[in-house]
Amino acid sequence: MYKIGIIGDRESVSGFKAVGIDVFTCDSGEAASKALRDMADDGYAIIYITEDLSEKIEDDIDKYKDVMLPAVIPIPGKGGPSGNGLRNVSKAVERAVGSDILFGGGK
């Protein structure tokens, strides 16, 4: 069975533990980068990460963008959405289909 985990600050991610998601609390890009590598090496299929931390470790996340697993998915943290997660979804769709079909570029 695949594992699901989340990386973020304590306030943003602690509630995910109640639904069975493994929680990795991190307050710095360095700690988030290490958690991401450890989770990928440990066979996590889905890794959620708060947008603020994902912006700090974009280069590390990019290493996983062309592989099937793990799927690294930015989510809003306690400060609300920054738009980074939506931009990443748009880029992934554009890579997959060749144009931006989500936001009007695929006419």
Q: Would you state the pLDDT for residue 83?
A: 74
- Of 75, 69, 63, 84, nearest to 13 by C-alpha is 75
Q: Do 60 and 33 meet the contact criterion of CB atoms below 8 Å apart?
A: yes
Q: Would you state the pLDDT for residue 82?
A: 73
Low-confidence ranges of the chain (pLDDT < 50): 106-107
Q: Would you state the pLDDT for residue 77?
A: 87
